[in-house]
Amino acid sequence: MDINIGDERMVELVSTYSDEEMLERALTKRIDAFGHFARLVQRPKPDEITITQSQKRFEPFWYGAARARYSYDRRHRYAVNAAPEVRSVTIYEHEHEVSEGRQHAFQLEALEHCVEEFQCELALDPQRGEERNYSRFLTSGQREIANVDAIQSDGVLAVPPEVRSSFVVHRLVQMLMKTFQADRIHEERIDIDSVVLYFRPIYAFEYHWPARDRRAVLEFEALTGDVRSEGGQIKQQMARVLANDTLFDVGADALGSILPGANIAVKIGRFAARKALS
């Protein structure tokens, strides 16, 4: 089995909205932040609600794409139907007896030359590694970055993923692994074409309604403009080192845990290669 790890990248998804535009959108949602009851019954005036805190952060998700190719030979016996009057058939100077009974046929030994090809892709959430649909974000502008420091500056946070690239590779390999009967194997290969750690921008705003002494938080997807309520506090993220070697941890040794005991030939990608040479 050959497993080839190809393109490994870290990508910032570029916000559709500027900081100023996000603030303007946040201001228009001041009343909505406190729910339908406040908007329909209590009816505060917009200037009674202030924005007390704001935060921009980047939340990650993983994307992977892979292909598999299996080429092999296998022996197979074909049953070939014959006319009722036929008792035997000669093919290439070899005579085959035709069986009597319900199936009037003769057996033909053959060597099948087989090729099977598969491909798959997946997107995983960064905390539990569960599959999620992030396709709506992937039409946004993209900017490849060398490391997380490129986006984590001036108070902007980058949320660390719990899942590492080795988990993504493992899942892709599991999806493409195939068992088959073969007399001879010519090729058994999985190509991990792409492993990408995407970071998408999110803006959070904390609202204060002094007359009711209430606080609320809304979060805005900076790629789509979608809004969601997040309760009473802006998320606090602990500072953690997000080194490339930590995030992209696939190497020749690590793949041994994916297929224990298998003979794995590995071509590793950009981040993993850099780690191997250091």
233-244 pLDDT per residue, tens? 676 655 555 677
User: Percent of the chain at pLDDT above 70?
Assistant: 85
Nearest Cα residue to 9 out of 247, 266, 174 = 247
Note the pLDDT of residue 264. 62
**pLDDT tens-digit profile of 235-276?**
665 555 567 778 888 765 666 666 665 556 666 666 655 555
Q: Would you call 14 helix, strand, or coil by DSSP? A: coil
Specify which of 34-38, 43-47, 48-52 reaches the highest per-range mean pLDDT.
48-52
231 falls in which pLDDT band (50, 70, 90)?
Answer: low
DSSP state of 157: E
pLDDT band at 149 (very low <50, low <70, confident <90, very high): confident
Per-chain mean pLDDT for the chain: 87
| Domain layout of the chain by residue ranges | 2-74+112-277
Most confident by average pLDDT, 42-46, 106-110, 146-150: 106-110
CB-CB neighbours of 129 under 10 Å: 18
Q: What is the pLDDT of residue 266?
A: 64
Determine the average pLDDT of the residues in 82-101. Answer: 92
Residue 117 confidence (pLDDT) above 80: yes
13 pLDDT above the threshold of 90? yes
Number of neighbours of residue 150 by Cβ within 10 angstroms:
14
Instruction: Give the pLDDT score at 242.
Output: 66
For residues 245, 158, 225, 63, the Cα torsion angle rounded to the nearest 10 degrees is 10
In this prediction, residues 129-146 reach a mean pLDDT of 94
For residue 275, what pLDDT is reported?
A: 55
| pLDDT (0 to 100) of residue 271 | 63
pLDDT tens-digit map of 47-91? 889 999 999 999 999 999 999 999 999 999 999 999 999 999 999
Is there a contact between 167 and 129 (Cβ–Cβ < 8 Å)? yes
Question: CA-based angle 198:203:207, to the nearest 5?
Answer: 155
Give the pLDDT confidence score for residue 5 in this predicted structure.
Answer: 86
What is the DSSP code (8-state) at residue 131?
A: B
Is pLDDT of 7 > 90? Answer: no
Q: How many CB atoms lie within 10 A of CB 275?
A: 17
Residues 232, 163: Cα–Cα separation, whole Å: 28
Beta bridge partners, 184, equal 73
112, 71 in Cβ contact below 8 A? no
What's the pLDDT at 21? 94
Backbone angles phi, psi at 5, to 5 degrees: -95, 115
